Structure 1
Amino acid sequence: MLLENMEPVVKKFYDGVAEGKYLGRKCTECGAIEFPPHLGCNTCGHGETEWVELSGHGTLVSFVIPGIQNDKPYLKEIAPYGYGAVELDEGPIYTFVVFCGKKKIVKGLQERLHAGEKIGVHAKPIQRVTPVKPGEPETIEWSELCFELDEAVEA
């Protein structure tokens, strides 16, 4: 795949996240949805896909609390978090940062998943500011797609 073909896909995905839209690519051959988007289908190998808007809702499939070497202080400022595989309502599964709302929710999450409980999640983009080059003052702002437990909002 040529870089000039990939860059518009990445830009459109992140522009969508900034607007609260969650865009994937649907294979015109088998109907599989790639999320985050790819130009080709990872299911059947077909080269043609088209844009589709996804709900931003799904189910948590797995969850892990980060070890000290993978801890991100900027995420802790928002809410207790971990990394989890999220299966979107439309089918794709991908790993995201998952916010849990309260520490007491985090403690029993893995056991609940292991017991087969369905735990709903929804998209929760966060704003990030990163340097263009390390050590330089110029920065870029962008929206990182994370997810949050539905029960974190209800709690």
Structure 2
Amino acid sequence: MTLKLERNVKRFYDGLEEGVVSARRCTECGAIEYPPHYACNRCGYHETEWTTISGRGVLKSAILPVSLNANSRLAEIGDYCFGEVAVEEDPECSFNSTIFGVGPDNVEQIRANLPVPVHAKIIQLDGYKTVMYEVDEGALS
């Protein structure tokens, strides 16, 4: 399956092919826009520029999938949940993502220790790469 990418997302997905996570930074206030946007959601300025982010951040919430939103392809990779992630470069920049390393056996421990450090996990899905996140090894030690 070949995706037709819009100009804004093409650079993002091209970067993922090289293992790079890209975002946009507001040229007025410096806020990070991730996933990338051309306008700033914080100050409303109309110009942003491409930047590379580390892929590190913190998990702020954790919700386990239920039968209606469970994904067997993701379950093949490992235990996962859905949650809000804030990026290291701009803690006010947060978004919802799939988080690996959280399951029925440790979700309560994760929730009790929020925020928990996470890192980007670039995975191949249906002919393209995408970014999900994973709890850092030893985060709860």
Shorter-chain TM-score: which interval? 0.7 to 0.9
- What is aligned with 1:81? 80
Alignment length, in residue pairs?
135
Instruction: Write out per-residue CA displacement over residues 116-152 of structure 1, whole angstroms, 9 at most, x where no aligned residue.
Output: xx411000011011xxxxxxxxxxx101210000027
1:17 Cα deviation from its structure 2 partner: 1.7
Return the letter of the residue paired with 2:49.
E
Residue aligned with 2:113, SS: helix
Q: Quick one: distance in 2 between partners of 1:95 and 1:87?
A: 9
- What is aligned with 1:30? 29
Rg larger for: 1
Describe the shift of the 1:54–1:37 C-alpha distance in structure 2 as closer, same or farther (beyond 3 A).
same
Runs of 4+ aligned structure 1 residues displaced above 3 Å come to 152-155
Return the letter of the residue paired with 1:120.
P
Q: Quick one: distance in 2 between partners of 1:153 and 1:111?
A: 12
User: TM-score if structure 2 supplies the norm length?
Assistant: 0.87
- What is aligned with 2:132? 146
- What is aligned with 1:68? 67
Conserved? CA contact 1:84–1:95, under 8 Å: yes
1:120 aligns with 2:120: no
Give the number of the structure whose residues are more often helix, by fraction.
Answer: 1
Unaligned runs of 5+ in 2: none
Describe the shift of the 1:154–1:61 C-alpha distance in structure 2 as closer, same or farther (beyond 3 A).
closer
Structural RMSD (CA): 2.1
1:68 Cα deviation from its structure 2 partner: 0.9
Percent identity, please: 41
Q: Quick one: distance in 1 between partners of 2:122 and 2:26?
A: 26
Conserved? CA contact 2:64–2:103, under 8 Å: no
- What is aligned with 1:3? none
